[in-house]
């Protein structure tokens, strides 16, 4: 038998405590712990602007190497997808079994990385 629960934790200081409580309550598999922004739209917009500028610069460089000019944009597409981090739940149990004590789960502050990919096709002149 298997039960699954989805939890949203807004206070990052409590992530380790919540995961530890789930383990203490009998959870033996923790999958899909992800970290995300509540509203990523502003960050995504900035990333798109940077991606377009990067694509234009690379297109101009490639065009110059081939003695042509960059023309109009023919198409733009965004590759949709996402990702996040994960929690290695077995680390705590291994430490306890080795007599090293439990402590909090191995959740440490860090950075959340947003990856955005655009494909832009240009004409050449």
pLDDT digits (tens, 9 = 90+) for 31-49: 777 778 888 899 999 999 9
Q: How far is CA 88 from the centre of its chain?
A: 16
Q: What is the pLDDT of residues 95-114, one digit of tens each?
A: 444 444 444 555 666 777 88
Distance CA 93, CA 85 (A): 20
Among 55, 67, 70, CA closest to 120: 55
**Statement: the pTM of the whole predicted model exceeds 0.85:** no
Distance CA 18, CA 47 (A): 32
For residues 7 and 18, is the Cβ–Cβ distance under 8 A? yes
């Amino acid at each position: 038998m298997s039960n699954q629960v989805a939890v949203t934790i807004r206070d990052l200081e409590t992530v380790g405590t919540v995961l530890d409580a789930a383990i203490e309550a009998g959870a033996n598999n923790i999958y899909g712990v992800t970290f995300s922004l509540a509203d990523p739209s502003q960050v995504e917009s900035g990333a798109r602007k940077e991606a377009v500028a990067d694509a234009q610069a690379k297109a101009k460089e490639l065009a110059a190497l081939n003695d042509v000019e960059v023309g109009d944009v023919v198409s733009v597409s965004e590759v949709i997808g996402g990702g996040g981090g994960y929690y290695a739940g077995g680390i705590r149990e291994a430490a306890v079994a080795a007599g090293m004590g439990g402590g909090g789960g191995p959740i440490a502050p860090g950075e959340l990385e947003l990856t955005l990919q655009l494909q832009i096709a240009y004409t050449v002149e």
